[in-house]
Amino acid sequence: MKVSIIGASGKLGQYMVQHALDRGYEVVGVCRKKSVKKLDRFEGRITVVPGATNDPEVIQGAVAGCDAVLVVLVPWGVHQYASGTAQAVLDYAEPGARLVFSCGWHITRDGKDQYSRKFLWEVKAFGWLAKLLRAADLDDQVEACRRVFASDTRWTAVRGSDLEEGESQGLPVWSRHVGDPILQSNRTRRVDFALFMVEALQNDELIHEAPAIVGCQTPSALAHAAGD
Ligand SMILES: NC(=O)c1ccc[n+]([C@@H]2O[C@H](COP(=O)([O-])OP(=O)(O)OC[C@H]3O[C@@H](n4cnc5c(N)ncnc54)[C@H](OP(=O)(O)O)[C@@H]3O)[C@@H](O)[C@H]2O)c1
């Protein structure tokens, strides 16, 4: 299996590279030129393509011949970085390639997610401040996911809860809608978010799903497992 990882140098990206290598996959990683150094520890084991992830030419080269593409969708900047990245992958991935995108719980596919007031307030405040400072554009990440949901590719959009560092606890559990009791703990280890993304490549049941994930050892996941 040959896998392209778009946004390989970030925290999530590096964990995905490691999980992919652990499975014996051939890995092509795309990251900004200034971040190539962050991938030094994988030298000789992966191919690195330096460049902006929303540059169609960069993406076209990086996904050529790949069976799967893992994409870190981030809303940074105010120049359509997320939607440009998603569009380039949708346009240039090999026909039939498995595509797995990352985003947060704030993305909703069918509008049936039930968010707490605190969550909505935080998203609104972050979105407003980030836009004011021209640091990020949450609306563009929403647009990126809208394009993914509308595409006829073999996509999955993995929606991460609040994240934390730490040793792996195992494959996160998921549900279709934020607000479902199993997700209540709103906490996932970043290494396990990456694990879910990489495992999704082999799980066709996740095609055309937008799973919202939570750590499998969190209180809400354990309560669900116990039939609470
Ligand atoms: N952080 C959270 O709590 C959280 C919660 C839920 C979901 N998520 C989702 O998880 C994924 C990754 O989140 P993360 O927190 O783990 O971050 P991360 O892995 O550190 O990823 C950040 C990515 O953004 C890139 N980046 C940073 N600044 C940039 C800029 N100004 N312009 C363009 N690219 C830039 C980084 O590339 P460089 O290496 O080149 O800097 C890296 O690829 C995203 O899809 C996010 O929506 C995060």
Instruction: Return d(Cα 147, Cα 143) in angstroms, integer.
Output: 6
Residue to probe by mutation, ligand 1, list 33, 35, 36, 74, most atoms within 8 Å of CB: 74
Protein residue whose Cα sits closest to atom 5 of ligand 1 = 162
Percentage of the chain modeled with pLDDT above 90: 97
Residue 30 Cα to ligand 1 midpoint, Å, equals 13
5-18 average pLDDT score: 98
Q: Which two tokens stand for residue 116?
A: 């707490």
pLDDT beyond 80 at 1: yes
Q: Determine the distance separating the centroid of ligand 1 and the alpha carbon of 179, expressed in angstroms.
A: 24
Q: What is the pLDDT of residues 139-149, one digit of tens each?
A: 999 999 999 99
What residue owns the CA closest to ligand 1's atom 1? 163
Residue 192 near residue 168, CB atoms below 8 Å: yes
- Count of structural domains, the chain: 1
The string over 41-79, giving b where at least 16 C-beta atoms fall within 10 Å of a residue's C-beta and e elsewhere, is ebeeebebbebbbbeeebbeebbeebbbbbbbbbbebee
> Given this model, what pLDDT does residue 117 score?
96
d(CA 26, CA 3): 6
pLDDT, one tens digit per residue, over 47-59 is 999 999 999 999 9
Q: How many of the other CB atoms lie within 10 Å of CB of 143?
A: 18
Whole-number mean pLDDT of the chain? 97
- Ligand 1 within 6 A of 162 CB? yes
Coil, strand or helix at 180: strand
**AA identity, residue 101:** F
Tens digits of residue pLDDT in 19-45: 999 999 999 999 999 999 999 999 999
* Cβ of 31 less than 6 Å from ligand 1: yes
pLDDT for position 78: 83
pLDDT at 228 over 90: no
Best probe residue, ligand 1, of 53, 69, 72 (max atoms within 8 Å of C-beta) = 72
Q: Is the CB of 7 under 6 A from ligand 1?
A: yes
Measure Cα distances from 153 to 89, 90, 100, 157 in Å. 10, 7, 10, 12
Which residues does residue 145 pair with via DSSP β-bridges, in sequence order? none
| Pocket of ligand 1 contains residue 106 by CB under 6 Å | no
* CATH number where 173 lies: 3.40.50.720
What range defines the domain where residue 14 resides? 2-225
- Residue with the bigger pLDDT between 228 and 132: it is 132
The CA 225 to ligand 1 mean position distance, Å, reads 31
Other CB atoms within 10 A of residue 11 CB: 15
Residue 94 confidence class, pLDDT cut points 50, 70, 90:
very high
| Residue indicated by tokens 């563009």 | 140
Position 5 pLDDT exceeds 90:
yes
Please report which residue ranges of 181-228 form alpha helices under DSSP H: 190-200, 219-225
pLDDT at 216: 98
Dump pLDDT digits (tens) for 164-207: 999 999 999 999 999 999 999 999 999 999 999 999 999 999 99
Per the document, the length of the chain is 228
The pLDDT confidence band at residue 77, using thresholds 50, 70 and 90, is confident
The ligand 1 atom nearest the CA atom of 190: 16
